[in-house]
Structure 1
Amino acid sequence: MLQVCLNGARSRAECPHLPLTAAELAVAAREAVAAGAEDVHLHPKDRDGRDTLEAAAVAAAVSAVRAAVPGVPVGVTTGAWATPDPRARAAQVRSWTVVPDHASVNWHEDGAAEVAAALLERGIGIEAGIYSGTSAAQRFVNWPGSGRVLRVLAEITESAPQDALHAAAALLEELEPAARPILLHGEATAAWPVLRLAASRRLDARIGLEDVLHLPDGAPAPDNAALVRAARQIIG
């Protein structure tokens, strides 16, 4: 499975053509799915372009993207940078009026299990975000609900390609006891080498402006669809 990550916690200062509004996310999702994406991950934004978990913003983004790509799963973030307090974050999940198909939970963040429990209560699939270089993998494997997640996001934070590949191999080994589907991805200069590793291991992968702003040849990526097309050529 190839997931497109449409925007992430970025701003227009980093990427002038970053999709932020519900309408922009819908267009970006439609183009990315036409290019070969099979799943969508997005960060709902407030009026100032900052990540938010507020119900109205989540409903607007998820509804617009679903209408643009019917039948394609749509997921959102629950990153602590949007709402630092775990109890408030779980309460926001419980307040959502339109629920996504899945949501990512970063296991190195405080309150991950509490947020995950709120998602399970709502029937929302969990993508367990496990960052390399943290204790997240062990915390997740030890969580009694680890077998109930939709998939594990093995998120490689090292930017140097060779370091990232070593970190990926180590993290995948650490995650073996979880026995859940794994989506492996990197970021910045390591995004493309890690995607090639995911393809070689027949793991799920993702690409998009959240993770990388350039194509494999180093040229600036004009949009998410261009990144997806390049990823599809690599995956084959």
Structure 2
Amino acid sequence: MRPVASRPDPVAIAVAPNGGRRTKADHPALPITPDELAHVAAASLDSGAAMIHVHVRDRDGHHLLDAEAYRTVTAAIRASVDERLVVQITSEALGIYRPEQQMRVVLEARPEAVSLALRELLPDQTYEAGFAAFLETLRREKITPQIILYTPEEATYLAMLAGRGLIPFDNVPVLYVLGRYAVGQTSRPADLLPFLAPGTAAASHWMVCAFGNQEAACVTAAALLGGNARVGFENNLFLPDGTPASGSQDLVAATKRSVEACGLTLANADTLRGQWDAA
């Protein structure tokens, strides 16, 4: 493990308020519409968030990758919080979209930032050249990618791609997912350790998301070890004491309290942008 005794840089909290799977049947406050997402963006900003990670839905509430829908929701969030939050869209497939469709919607939407699941965009080695070309376009267009990694083996694969010159960023930001999407999934802080074990490729700018009511504990452990935090209804509906949260902003606030209780400070959107530029 690569411990960090103290970190000079502040901790960025991202809010992920909806995801592509949950509905209002899971929680009535789960935001679906642009106006609802704009509302939770403002509330999460006030609670300590520096970034919002957004999914959009079709008319039936199903997961959607659509450039116009992303432009609409981004405009609503910007009208609510201006540039005070980084707005990150997802390219997540959910088993519906092919890699070329995922990449196309990102280039059409032209977001500030996007999350990219390595296993979805590189289902096998024949996709490597296309993925490298896509990342080069993102670099030119100043769209910040964040690579989603579900296992330490994926971190090693990403490092290998970088070593072969296929990742046109010096230190691309990554998101470590602690656990997996499954009914009853609960992550624990120890789930982070394999990503930080000796011999596992290190990332300069990394973030963690987790499932269940130990979410705040997981991301606080990450913060103490040099990482950043992503919390929200996408992966968790409960406060650390096990009671239901009223909204994703409550989970941001709980994380803020936990991180600051450890003597760490929080990043704002401009600080996060600067960290990405320096990575």
Instruction: State TM-score, norm by structure 2.
Output: 0.75
Superposed displacement of residue 80, structure 1: 1.5
In the TM superposition, 1:1-236 aligns within 5 A as 1-9=12-20, 10-71=22-83, 72-81=85-94, 83-96=96-109, 99-111=110-122, 114=131, 116-117=135-136, 119-132=138-151, 135-143=153-161, 144-145=166-167, 147-148=169-170, 150-157=172-179, 159-161=185-187, 164-173=188-197, 177-236=201-260
Check conservation: 1:154, 1:172, Cα contact below 8 A.
Answer: no
Query: Separation in 1 of the partners of 2:95 and 2:42?
Result: 26
Check conservation: 2:214, 2:240, Cα contact below 8 A.
Answer: no
Describe the SS at the equivalent of 1:219: coil
Superposed displacement of residue 146, structure 1: 6.6
Check conservation: 1:199, 1:205, Cα contact below 8 A.
Answer: yes
Query: Separation in 2 of the partners of 1:149 and 1:43?
Result: 25
Deviations 1:78-123 (A, max 9, x none): 0121742111222222222xx3211000112243752545533532
Query: Separation in 2 of the partners of 1:173 and 1:69?
Result: 39
Superposed displacement of residue 76, structure 1: 0.9
Gaps of 5+ in 1: none
Query: Separation in 2 of the partners of 1:59 and 1:198?
Result: 32
Q: Which amino acid aligns with 1:52?
A: L
Structure 1 pair 200/179, CA: closer, same or farther in 2 (3 Å)? closer
Structure 1 pair 120/16, CA: closer, same or farther in 2 (3 Å)? same
Pick 1 or 2: higher relative contact order, CA cutoff 8 A, min separation 6: 2
Describe the SS at the equivalent of 2:115: strand
Query: Separation in 2 of the partners of 1:64 and 1:7?
Result: 16
Q: Which amino acid aligns with 1:196?
A: T
Q: Which amino acid aligns with 2:89?
A: V
Query: Separation in 2 of the partners of 1:181 and 1:201?
Result: 12
Superposed displacement of residue 124, structure 1: 0.9
Question: Once structures 1 and 2 are overlaid, which stretch shifts more, 164-173 or 33-42?
Answer: 164-173
Query: Separation in 1 of the partners of 2:79 and 2:172?
Result: 23
Q: Which amino acid aligns with 1:172?
A: L
Superposed displacement of residue 234, structure 1: 0.4
Point out the structure with max Rg over C-alpha: 2
Check conservation: 2:171, 2:203, Cα contact below 8 A.
Answer: no
Check conservation: 2:245, 2:251, Cα contact below 8 A.
Answer: yes
Equivalent pairs counted in the alignment come to 231
Deviations 1:8-34 (A, max 9, x none): 122222222110111110011001101
Root mean square deviation of aligned Cα: 2.3
Query: Separation in 1 of the partners of 2:96 and 2:209?
Result: 24
Q: Which amino acid aligns with 2:28?
A: P
Identity %: 26
Structure 1 pair 93/62, CA: closer, same or farther in 2 (3 Å)? same
Gaps of 5+ in 2: 1-11, 261-279
Deviations 1:124-179 (A, max 9, x none): 100111113x7421221122317446511011116445xx3333111123786344
Question: Once structures 1 and 2 are overlaid, which stretch shifts more, 184-193 or 211-220?
Answer: 184-193
